[in-house]
Amino acid sequence: MCYMSAALLTTVANEIMTVVTRFAPSPTGFLHLGGAHTALFNWLYARHHGGKFLLRVEDTDRARSTDEAVDAILDGLKWLGLDWDGDVISQFSRVERHAEVAEQLVAAGAAYRCYCTPEELAEMRENAKAEGRPMRYDGRWRDRDPSEAPAGVSPTIRLKAPQEGETVIADLIQGTVRVANDQMDDMVLLRGDGTPTYMLAVVVDDHDMDVTHALRGDDHLTNAFRQTQIYNALGWEPPIFAHMPLMHGPDGKKLSKRHGAVAVHLYRDMGFLPEAMRNYLLRLSWGHGDDEIISDAQAIEWFDFVDVVRSPARFDVAKLNNLNGHYIRQADDKRLTDLIMPQIETILEGEIASESEARILAGMPNLKERAKTIIELAESAVFYARSRPMPLTPKAEKILDETARQNLAKLRNEYASHSEWTSGTLEELARSFAEREELKLGKVAQPIRAALTGTNVSPPIFSVMEVLGQEETVARLDDVLGQN
Ligand code: GLU
């Protein structure tokens, strides 16, 4: 038999159909990094092709699925900016349709009712265990007449799976993968209580949603074989599969809580920007030359499966930090100000100077130069929002020694009568003062910084003075000099 190569298959496929991808999370917790990674790639592929990105909540496991978890996943996707098309589809709402398809397969002779009792199945499991092989249903009802059905057993519906030959998948990431059909048993499609199994539900939903590309974690690769068998039995065209590498921690083990935060919302709370997350998750297992910084527009233009790396991606928070720093520097000043104001209010317990927001906005071009996270940005901006007098850190105290205070007193008078309040002229004044007093500029600037910010690190101090304005600057100097 001859199979089309995966690349050719996509080319052909993309020419004849609208690309439809989907993200199909099971709502049992929060949106995890791995889920966000999968969702992002589905979103990019759909956007790249001008297709659709659908969202299906796989909530058939009623005991484990909660509304809170659904909301948490939707919130995570919204924060990440991964907008989906149309309504969110609930898999559970489609159970009748799943059962209908199972019955359709029975009617066509491609599936059958299995009346095995739980005891019989337990026995099969025990035997398999004793012989050290995986449990496989032995097909005892495959050809048996339903008239032999025992009373009181609600039958399951099993697929009459092919027993010879092989099932082949042309996976866009994994390449061509195949499994011998005698390695797979007749899987259950519909349980005795009429509920669908995961395998059936996914196939029916993907088909009914016109999904053209099923892109998901490679832990689902073995499921793809079983799902392909169901598609074949139904005479439906399977979607094109693409199984992407799972995310690992820095130690090379599957990413888990041991490695730290795995839920996307925690990264928001730690002060990461969604665009930095997107860029980071994209680069984890996809590349475009040596490019590290990739905008959304570029990602959408360039994204294709051929560039997806097959080996597991290692989560590295240092890289994420660097990207975040980059996106913070690029971000709009007003947006950043809005993001940090609530945090500053928390830090200062509501004791906020009234001009804070205007000052922070004006100071933002310099503040954002050095922050790696929104939290760091907020911390670095607190001095603009504090009501006087500034508390001094021990380092600031040390800078403000006797000599420094004497110089500061003279400078204070010069600044109090200075007329042009711009960073350039403020610096000029400090420079000529330093020359006259035969001091290095740092000996003059550091005490000013200590007095105005209460710390020993801040954005360029003459810009800080410009932002604070003359009145506040002189008042803060006076606080330190004990003149208020
Ligand atoms: N619900 C599955 C999961 O959360 C995804 C199934 C699929 O994408 O086909 O892992």
User: Which stretch of 136-140, 299-303, 308-312 has the lowest confidence by average pLDDT?
Assistant: 308-312
Q: Is residue 359 part of a domain?
A: yes
In a domain, 34, yes or no: no
Q: In this structure, are 100 and 239 located in the same domain?
A: yes
The atom number, within ligand 1, closest to the CA of 227 reads 9
Residues sharing a CB contact under 8 Å with residue 345, sequence separation 6 or more, in sequence order: 352
Catalytic residue at 160?
no
**What average pLDDT does this structure show over 274-290?**
94
Ligand 1: residue of 21, 22, 23, 26 to mutate (most ligand atoms within 8 A of CB) is 26
Do residues 17 and 128 both lie within one domain?
yes
Whether 239 is in the pocket of ligand 1, judged by its Cβ within 6 Å, is no
Same domain for 100 and 221? yes
Indicate the residue among 185, 216, 244 that finishes a domain.
Answer: 244
Distance 47 CA to ligand 1 centre (A): 21
Q: Is the CB of 24 under 6 A from ligand 1?
A: yes
CATH number for the domain spanning 440: value is 1.10.10.350
Give a yes or no: residue 189 inside a domain: yes
Are 422 and 345 found together in one domain? no
Do residues 366 and 439 both lie within one domain?
Answer: no
Q: Compute, in angstroms, the gap from residue 171 CA to the centroid of ligand 1.
A: 16
Give me the CATH number covering residue 149.
3.40.50.620
Is residue 309 predicted with pLDDT exceeding 90? no
Q: Verify whether ligand 1 is closer than 6 Å to residue 216 (CB atom).
A: yes
* Residue at a domain's end among 198, 229, 244: 244
pLDDT tens, residue by residue, 468-484: 999 999 999 999 999 76
Give the global pTM. 0.91
Query: Does a structural domain hold residue 148?
Result: yes
pLDDT confidence band for 404 (50 / 70 / 90): very high
Q: Is the Cβ atom of 220 under 6 angstroms away from ligand 1?
A: yes
Closest C-alpha to ligand 1, atom 3: 25
73 lines ligand 1 (CB under 6 A): no
pLDDT tens per residue across span 225-247:
999 999 999 999 999 999 999 99
Q: How far is the CA of 26 from the centre of ligand 1 (A)?
A: 7
pLDDT for position 462: 98
**One domain, residues 232 and 107:** yes
- Identify which of 286, 151, 263 has the alpha carbon closest to the alpha carbon of residue 215: 286
pLDDT in tens, 333-351: 999 999 999 999 999 998 8
Measured from the CB, is residue 223 less than 6 Å from ligand 1? no
Same domain, residue pair 157 and 215: yes
Say whether both 171 and 219 belong to one domain: yes
Is any atom of ligand 1 closer than 6 Å to the C-beta of 33?
no
Tell me how many degrees the CA angle 134-204-153 measures, rounded to the nearest 5.
Answer: 55
313 located within any domain: no
Query: How far is ligand 1, taken at its centre, from the CA of residue 124, in Å?
Result: 28
Q: Which residue's alpha carbon is nearest to atom 4 within ligand 1?
A: 25
Q: Residue 223 Cα, ligand 1 centroid: separation in angstroms?
A: 10
State if residue 55 touches ligand 1 by the CB under 6 angstroms criterion.
no
* Residues 463 and 373 grouped into a single domain: no
Residue 35 lies in a domain: no
- The closest residue, in CA terms, to atom 7 on ligand 1 is 24
CB 392 within 8 A of CB 450: yes
| Residue 399 maps to a domain | yes
Angle between helices 274-284 and 317-330 (to 10 degrees): 140
What separation in Å is there between the alpha carbon of 214 and the centre of ligand 1?
Answer: 10
Angle value at C-alpha 436, between 430 and 438, nearest 5 degrees = 95
Q: Is the CB of 249 under 6 A from ligand 1?
A: no
CA 420 to CA 460: how far, in whole Å? 18
Average pLDDT, the chain: 94
* Domain shared by 117 and 234, yes or no: yes
User: Containing domain of residue 417, as a range?
Assistant: 394-481
* Domain count for the chain: 3
Q: Write down the catalytic residue from 78, 129, 254, 257.
A: 257
Residues 375 and 451 in one domain: no
Averaged pLDDT for residues 449-472: 98
Is 285 inside a domain boundary? Answer: no
Domain boundary among 188, 209, 244: 244
Residue 358 and residue 437 in one domain: no
3-state secondary structure the chain: CCCCCHHHHHHHHHHHCCCEEEECCCCCCCCEHHHHHHHHHHHHHHHHCCCEEEEEECCCCCCCCCHHHHHHHHHHHHHHCCCCCCCCEECHHHHHHHHHHHHHHHHCCCEEEECCCHHHHHHHHHHHHHCCCCCCCCCCCCCCCHHHCCCCCCCEEEECCCCCCEEEEEECCCEEEEEEHHHCCCCEEECCCCCECHHHHHHHHHHHCCCCEEEEEHHHHHHHHHHHHHHHHHCCCCCEEEEECCEECCCCCECCHHHCCCEHHHHHHCCCCHHHHHHHHHHHCECCCCCCCCCHHHHHHHCCHHHECCCCEECCHHHHHHHHHHHHHHCCHHHHHHHHHHHHHHHCCCCECCCHHHHHHHHHHHHCCCCCCHHHHHHHHHHHHECCCCCCCHHHHHHCCHHHHHHHHHHHHHHHCCCCCCHHHHHHHHHHHHHHCCCCHHHHHHHHHHHHHCCCCCCCHHHHHHHHHHHHHHHHHHHHHCCC
Q: How many Å lie between the centroid of ligand 1 and the Cα of residue 349?
A: 44
